[in-house]
Amino acid sequence: MGKAMIDSGRLIPRNGAVHPVRRDMEYKTSVLRSPDFPLLSLESTKTEETGPVFGHTSLGPLDNDLILNWSKGLASAIGERILLHGRVIDENGRSVPKALIEIWQANAGGRYRHVEDTYFAPLDDNFGGCGRTLTDAEGRYQFMTIKPGAYPWPNRGNDWRPAHIHFSIFGHSFGQRLITQMYFEGDPLIDRCPIAATIKDRSQLERLVAPLDFLAARPLDFLAYRFDIVLRGRRQTMFENKTEGL
């Protein structure tokens, strides 16, 4: 077989109707960080359409194993072991191969390995909280990791973030990046989270909730969650889908 061709061309604008609202009074910092004026939708340029490539060839053997990658395989992270897997597909169900997926998360106690995270939960010496992998020819990916813990955050009097994992999905150009986060089936904090509540359509929020997948679990070892990522059309851009405004 010959070398696969990378699809190129204009970026398909984002459908803003299914995204979280930018300003929500219950999510306090969104009031300060949201734009005061309508966004402008711009035509993509060669910069967004062709480059750069984000490290697709610089992956290590443990990059998708967050249980072992921080210690370089010398010790295991502490917490509930889980397998996180799924497919990256387009809106027509076609697989998206060689997409670079990066994830980052809190540890089992709900604390990030970040200098600004001052939550009381201890750090795990054997857990860094970051991983990366490439989708295969069928768009499949998987990570071994620790189920993250919930944590409090200074929004209202006693707000807690549900257990979640952040995702960044890269294509083969600057404009091909999606950032999202995944929640876990059955978590009661999802319905109480002001950030999750910025997604006003419940059916859209459910797309961010990964169901348990007992078929992929390993008895006496780990549970599994499946999180399929559906991209809109051939490409997705950071701009809105109308000429101007919401």
**Catalytic site positions:** 112, 151, 161, 164, 166
Q: Over 80: is that where the pLDDT of 163 sits?
A: yes
Q: Band the pLDDT of 223: cuts 50, 70, 90.
A: very high
Question: 117-124 long-range CB contacts below 8 Å, 24 or more apart?
Answer: 119/151, 119/152, 121/149, 121/151, 124/77, 124/78, 124/79
pLDDT digits (tens, 9 = 90+) for 118-151: 999 999 999 999 999 999 999 999 999 999 999 9
Question: Would you call 192 helix, strand, or coil by DSSP?
Answer: helix
**Parallel, antiparallel, or unpaired: how do β-strands 209-210 and 177-184 relate?**
parallel
Instruction: Give the pLDDT confidence of 6-16 residue by residue, as tens digits.
Output: 445 555 666 66
| Backbone conformation region of residue 245, classed left if phi is above 0, alpha if psi is from -120 to 50, else beta | left
Specify the higher pLDDT residue, 68 or 32.
68
Cis peptide before 13 (omega within 30 of 0): no
CA distance 202 to 197: 9
Cβ neighbours around 35 below 10 Å, total? 8
Q: What percent of the chain has pLDDT over 70?
A: 80
pLDDT band at 236 (very low <50, low <70, confident <90, very high): very low
Domains of the chain (ranges, CATH numbers): 16-231 (2.60.130.10)
At residue 142, the pLDDT reads 98
Condensed to tens digits (0 to 9), the pLDDT of residues 173-221 reads 666 678 899 999 999 999 999 999 998 888 889 999 999 999 999 999 9
Q: Can you give the pLDDT at residue 231?
A: 82
Cα gap 243→246, rounded to integer Å: 9
Q: How many CA atoms lie within 13 A of 134 on its CB side?
A: 15
Please tell me the predicted confidence (pLDDT) of residue 203: 86
User: What's the mean pLDDT in 86-101?
Assistant: 89
| C-alpha span between 36 and 219 (Å, rounded) | 52
Give CA–CA dist 105/241, Å, rounded.
30
